[in-house]
Structure 1
Amino acid sequence: MKFKPLGERALVKLVEREEKTASGIVLPDTAKEKPQTAEVIAVGDSEDIKVKEGDVVVFAKYSGTEISLNGDDYMILDADDILGVVEE
């Protein structure tokens, strides 16, 4: 199934964080925070959205709508909730 966001929205897949701290302590699932970085999978058709497919973005903590497609978890984010693009 394909999904195309409408307007100023982006479909993103969360980027998982490390499961260990810098000192080597393994974090249980209950201690992990929800990731705030994601890879852009698809973007809406608005000219105002500033990200493209493949970008890694940082988004606001309590934003987005979680969905499941083909057994994978994704989020739909409004353009206003995307705080920036991670550049390498």
Structure 2
Amino acid sequence: MKELQPINQNVLLELTEDKSEQTTASGIIIPDSAKEKQEVAKVVAISNIENAEIAPGDEVLYKRYAGTEIDFNGKKFLLLPYSEILSKVVVTESI
């Protein structure tokens, strides 16, 4: 099986598509090309980055227009530099 392995300080994120149809208040359907770009995704793989603060399986927030979108094996991915990751999404218990 083929898989993508990032190199040169890059991170591979898996994008999930929003399947819901969005409409305006007046009922106009918003085309996919006009929807806001997603900024949260799941880490699939990272290159050999010393002291990386993320790992495969983590959910991260990244810069809006960062990276290169890739279609591979029927899935959508985003390949971007590690420096474009803004935050790791963590679940905390509310007190």
The two structures have a TM-score, normalised by structure 2, of 0.74
Structure 1: gaps of 5 or more residues: none
Report the count of equivalent residues: 86
The Cα of 1:49 is off from its aligned counterpart by 3.0
Work out the percentage of aligned pairs sharing the same amino acid: 33
Task: Label 1:16 to 1:60 Cα distance change in 2 as closer, same or farther (>3 A).
Answer: same
Select the structure of larger CA radius of gyration: 2
Task: Label 1:48 to 1:65 Cα distance change in 2 as closer, same or farther (>3 A).
Answer: farther
Question: Retained in 1: the 8 A contact 2:43–2:55?
Answer: yes
Say which of 49, 54, 57 aligns to 2:52. 49
Matches within 5 A, 1:28-39: 29-39=32-42
The two structures have a TM-score, normalised by structure 1, of 0.80
- Cα distance in 1 between the residues matched to 2:63 and 2:80: 9
Q: How big is the alpha-carbon RMSD for the aligned residues of Structure 1 and Structure 2?
A: 2.2
Q: Which amino acid aligns with 1:12?
A: L
- SS at 1:39 equivalent: strand
1:83 equivalent to 2:61? Answer no
- SS at 1:80 equivalent: helix
Structure 2: gaps of 5 or more residues: none
